[in-house]
Amino acid sequence: MISAFQMARRRLSNGLLFTFLASAALAVPAVPALAGQSDRSLVLGMAIEPIGLDPTIAAPVAIGQVTWQNVFEGLVTVDRDGNIKPQLAKSWTISSDGLTYTFRLQRNVTFHDGETFDSAVAKASLERARGADSVNPQKRFFSSIATIETPDAETLVLKLREPAGSLLYWLAWPSSVIVGTKTAESDRTTPVGTGPFRFVRWAKGDKVELAANTDYWNKDVSIGLDKVTFRFISDPQAQAAALRSGDVDAFPEFGAPELVGSFENDPNLTTVIGDTELKVVAGMNNARKPFNDKRVRQALMMALDRKTLVDGAWSGFGTPIGSHYTPNDPGFIDLTGIYPYDPEKARALLAEAGYPDGFSFVMRAPQMSYATRSAEIMQAMLAEIGVTMTIEPTEFPAKWVQEVFKNADYDMTIVAHAEPMDVDIYGRDSYYFNYRNPVLNGLIAKAEQTTDPVARDAIYGDVQTVLAEDVPALYLFVMPKLGIWNKGIEGLWRNEPIPSNVLTDVHWKE
Amino acid sequence: MLTVLMRRVVALLLTLLAVSVLVFAVMDVLPGDPAAVMLGTSASPDTLAALRHELGLDQPLLLRYFVWLASAARGDFGTSYVYGVPVSELLAERLAVTLPLAAIAVVLSVAIALPLGALSAARRSSAFDHAVGVLSQLFIAVPGFWVALLLILLFSVRLRVMPSGGFPGWESGLGAALKSLVLPAVALALPQAGVLTRVTRSAVLEVLNEDYVRTARAKGLPQRVALWRHAVPNAMVPVVTVLGLQFTFLVAGAILVENLFNLPGLGRLAYQALMQRDVVVLQDVVLFFAGLVVIVNFLVDLSYLFLDPRLRETAS
């Protein structure tokens, strides 16, 4: 029989021991980082492990973040500022009607297994991506192509059905990379490309190892690393520990904004904040009452103080947006001022739409921290205008993709849209927003028929304005790129115009 | 004895069959499928249909189950939907991490608990006994993830003597591989050790209070001999029973610890397979765990025969 006094004493001693242990662990002075790391190898951390290593057959961005530009290359590529650059195609001409693209290809390019790259290989790769049984996640990119011709080994001609202004840009994507004819089927586990790094090993659940490709075709590039290891660490605390202990040299997309400040005093690490392409958007079911009323959607937008939301949900990192477009994208305009935070006006507009006492709805929030936190803050802000949000956690990806994305069985949800330049989703017939707007569809079609960049930017400006005014979804913020890496590393990208970890220019300082 | 064994084997197979039906049924009820997960938010309906066809997901559930069962009976445990490699390959890779991890944790917890529990019982109500009481209470009370983080903080971040996670692989040498398992094994072993210490202490106390021990002590048998020759061996039956029961917790704990330390073990594989709806992988991992638990319980029952001569009489 233990007396209450003994119980209390035991609890107290446990508590004291807890505190003592924790403070003892923290009181130990930190050992300085090991100087003289191998200057030709790099360990790079990622939160999510890719499900395969072939970006042409599955969508998760983690696949391209390991392989794009490192193992695989495309006809064209995108540089760190988002500009389209030649790659396996050294130049191209576009006919004045926009229907014929003629690419001059690089010579002396070989795949890691020795296969020679030529127009036949390029054609086979594109045919595989656009064929009837293709499972390419961006198959629609190739739908405008009627035929592919190979007049000679160095020339590739794409004949289009209709003009496709975004085609060049799409050809730069991870899902458009050129794969070898002999190795296409095994790329998902042992990727073989033409890039500056060869695949070495994938220890599933732990890491992917790459090694410099000594036969790399592009002599303008000096590869600064011999060995690269991608390590997959999902828990943010474990990510922080791996960085501090020097087990990981760089985390280009660190997972927890609330821990970023804790690296400030670390003498070995630097913090580089940039923009990703991830647009955090609260999608609404535009086919369901009351979201089918534009005034209701506008009122909800005005009820949200985006700045405060970013502060609360993501520790102040991230850029508020007014439409489905990021500062990285060509022709970006800041439209957060169209429906700025104004709860008074929001309430008036709701009353005008026939909801003087507000209404109730269900928010289906995926379990990612950005989504749950944003939902909780929105819940409080919407309560201010009399709107009641019930949050229903929805497991992502499996359940969310099935019920929200595929079946559109929801009122509102929150998810980060990762694909760059994807405003066309608002014009698709069966997309989970259930949004129909002929004006917008006209603008998107017009942009596709235009190849002149200046004219295209102007059209995309109109697209952004339509979205900002019509509010088919609530536009919240662009996910920041929280880069934390060793001060000795140079060449990693600050921004991500395409989700990636390009290692071509990465090296340790002398 | 042989009939007992036969009965056990039949029971094991029936258990596994029931578990396999259950996993398939549950995974079918859960919304989502691996094809949808692979294609994500850009999927168009026709691409999804193409991928489902390629993976064979468009066939009826019963047919898929029996195809899996027929292959499993031949020792082929199917191919992962998501990774596209044989599951046996994945399992072998992961077992090479999880089994050593669990083994080290069990050995560690027994090595801590037996001496602590026995000495604690021998010096009942001493300061030492109280200290052990507090310590074992602490081991049980402290959440595993907190211990794990504390260990990482101290040994990897501050002292930089241990890796903060990950697994270099056995090919990088025994030393490096074991080194990466030490901290997770400690985090896994401490709660076990706490429970075992208490069980050992009370079991040893019980034996020490038996009439025959008291008589022997009165006739001049040294305390040391009474403890290590009589009390500890006779206290083994409850200790082994608890060790067997704890095994399930060990498996559950491994999932958590593997995630925190980023060890490519079975626990992490099971978690990923569930998130990706990779039915075949999850099926095989769950079956493996279930089989392991049944076999461990059987071994525990067997060990009684060796630990307690009286049971041998009745068994034969």
Q: Residue A275 pLDDT more than 90?
A: yes
Q: How many CB atoms lie within 10 A of CB A294?
A: 15
Q: Residue A207 pLDDT more than 80?
A: yes
Rounded Cα distance between A244 and A486, Å, is 10
Tokens of A437: 């707007």
pLDDT of amino acid A21: 53
pLDDT of amino acid A460: 97
Q: Residue A208 pLDDT more than 70?
A: yes
Contacts of A252 (CB under 8 A, 6+ apart): A44, A46, A481, A483, A485, A492, A493, A501
Average pLDDT over residues A190-202: 97
The residue among A247, A281, A419 with the most chain B CBs within 10 A of its CB, best to mutate, is A247
Q: Residue A154 pLDDT more than 80?
A: yes
Q: Which residue has the tokens 């994305």?
A: A405
Q: Mind giving me the DSSP string for A391-454? A: EEE--TTHHHIIIIIIT---SEE-EEE-STT-GGGGG-TT-TT----HHHHHHHHHHHT---HH
Q: Which of A52, A247, A397 sits opposite B83 (nearest CB)?
A: A52
Q: State how far residue A10 is from chain B, nearest Cα, in angstroms.
A: 7
pLDDT of amino acid A172: 97
CA distances from A235 to B139, B149, B164, B258 (A): 23, 11, 12, 11
Please check whether residue A7 touches B, CB under 8 A: no
CA distances from A238 to A47, B153, B160, B186 (A): 10, 10, 14, 17
The residue among A245, A417, A429 with the most chain B CBs within 10 A of its CB, best to mutate, is A245
pLDDT tens readout for residues B256-305: 888 888 899 988 898 889 888 998 999 899 888 888 888 888 888 888 87
CB-based contact A31 B169, cutoff 8 Å? no
Question: How much is the pTM?
Answer: 0.88
Q: State how far residue B131 is from chain A, nearest Cα, in angstroms.
A: 11
Measured between beta carbons, which residues in chain B are less than 8 angstroms from residue A138? 42
Q: State how far residue A104 is from chain B, nearest Cα, in angstroms.
A: 31
CB-based contact B166 A233, cutoff 8 Å? yes
CB-based contact B33 A402, cutoff 8 Å? yes
pLDDT of amino acid A34: 47
CB-based contact B37 A26, cutoff 8 Å? no
pLDDT of amino acid A183: 97
Choose between A105 and B253: higher pLDDT: A105
Please check whether residue A417 touches B, CB under 8 A: yes
Question: In terms of CA atoms, which chain B residue is nearest residue A33?
Answer: B160
Choose between B302 and A346: higher pLDDT: A346
Q: Which of A31, A33, A238 sits opposite B165 (nearest CB)?
A: A238
pLDDT of amino acid B30: 86
Percent of chain A with pLDDT over 90: 87
How long a stretch of residues is chain A?
Answer: 510
pLDDT of amino acid A38: 60
Measured between beta carbons, which residues in chain A are less than 8 angstroms from residue B40? 58-60, 137, 397, 401
Is A315 buried (19+), middle (13-18) or exposed (0-12) by CB count in 10 A?
A: middle
pLDDT of amino acid A148: 98
The count of CB pairs under 8 A between chains A and B is 193
Q: State how far residue A504 is from chain B, nearest Cα, in angstroms.
A: 25
CA distances from B305 to B6, B196, B206, B270 (A): 17, 21, 20, 35
Question: In terms of CA atoms, which chain B residue is nearest residue A422?
Answer: B42
CB-based contact A398 B260, cutoff 8 Å? no
CB-based contact A401 B40, cutoff 8 Å? yes
The residue among B51, B157, B167 with the most chain A CBs within 10 A of its CB, best to mutate, is B157
pLDDT of amino acid A3: 47
Residue B308 CA, chain-centre distance (Å), reads 26
pLDDT tens readout for residues A11-48: 444 444 444 555 555 555 555 444 345 689 999 999 99
If contacts are CB pairs under 8 Å, which of residues 250-309 in chain A contact chain B? none
CB-based contact A22 B150, cutoff 8 Å? yes
CB-based contact B36 A25, cutoff 8 Å? no
Q: Which of B50, B137, B154 sits opposite A10 (nearest CB)?
A: B137
CB-based contact A246 B45, cutoff 8 Å? no
Rounded Cα distance between A38 and A226, Å, is 10
CB-based contact A203 B264, cutoff 8 Å? yes
Rounded to whole angstroms, the maximal C-alpha distance in chain A is: 93
Dihedral sign, CA of B226, B228, B230, B236? positive
CB-based contact B30 A399, cutoff 8 Å? yes
Please check whether residue A200 touches B, CB under 8 A: no
Q: Residue A252 pLDDT more than 90?
A: yes
Phi, psi dihedrals of residue A269, rounded to the nearest 5°: -115, 150
Question: In terms of CA atoms, which chain B residue is nearest residue A63?
Answer: B38
Q: State how far residue A142 is from chain B, nearest Cα, in angstroms.
A: 13
If contacts are CB pairs under 8 Å, which of residues 32-61 in chain A contact chain B? 33-34, 49, 51-52, 57-60
Tokens of A81: 């500022």
CB-based contact A26 B263, cutoff 8 Å? no
Choose between A392 and B308: higher pLDDT: A392
Please check whether residue A1 touches B, CB under 8 A: no
Please check whether residue A135 touches B, CB under 8 A: yes
Mean pLDDT of chain A: 92
Q: State how far residue B34 is from chain A, nearest Cα, in angstroms.
A: 8
Residue A204 CA, chain-centre distance (Å), reads 22
Please check whether residue A188 touches B, CB under 8 A: yes
Choose between B231 and A139: higher pLDDT: A139
Q: Which of A25, A51, A133 sits opposite B153 (nearest CB)?
A: A25
pLDDT of amino acid A35: 38
Q: State how far residue B33 is from chain A, nearest Cα, in angstroms.
A: 6
Measured between beta carbons, which residues in chain B are less than 8 angstroms from residue A134? 47, 50
Question: In terms of CA atoms, which chain A residue is nearest residue B133?
Answer: A10
pLDDT tens readout for residues A61-83: 999 999 999 999 999 999 999 99
pLDDT of amino acid A25: 53
pLDDT tens readout for residues A374-409: 999 999 999 999 999 999 999 998 999 989 999 999
Question: In terms of CA atoms, which chain B residue is nearest residue A428?
Answer: B44
pLDDT of amino acid A32: 47
Question: In terms of CA atoms, which chain B residue is nearest residue A187?
Answer: B84
Average pLDDT over residues B116-140: 92
Percent of chain B with pLDDT over 70: 97
Q: Residue A495 pLDDT more than 80?
A: yes
Average pLDDT over residues A313-335: 96
Please check whether residue A187 touches B, CB under 8 A: no
- Looking at residue A479, the DSSP 8-state letter turns out to be E
Residue A39 CA, chain-centre distance (Å), reads 30
Contacts of A432 (CB under 8 A, 6+ apart): A283, A285, A404, A405, A406, A408, A410, A413
Please check whether residue A25 touches B, CB under 8 A: yes
Q: Which residue has the tokens 């995630």?
A: B259
Choose between A306 and A10: higher pLDDT: A306
Q: DSSP strand E in B188-310: where?
A: none
Q: Residue A236 pLDDT more than 70?
A: yes
Q: Residue B107 pLDDT more than 80?
A: yes
Rounded Cα distance between A323 and A463, Å, is 9
Rounded Cα distance between B12 and A266, Å, is 55
Mean pLDDT of chain B: 87
CB-based contact A13 B83, cutoff 8 Å? no
Rounded Cα distance between A103 and A91, Å, is 6
Rounded Cα distance between B215 and B224, Å, is 15
Residue A332 CA, chain-centre distance (Å), reads 17
Q: DSSP strand E in chain B: where?
A: none
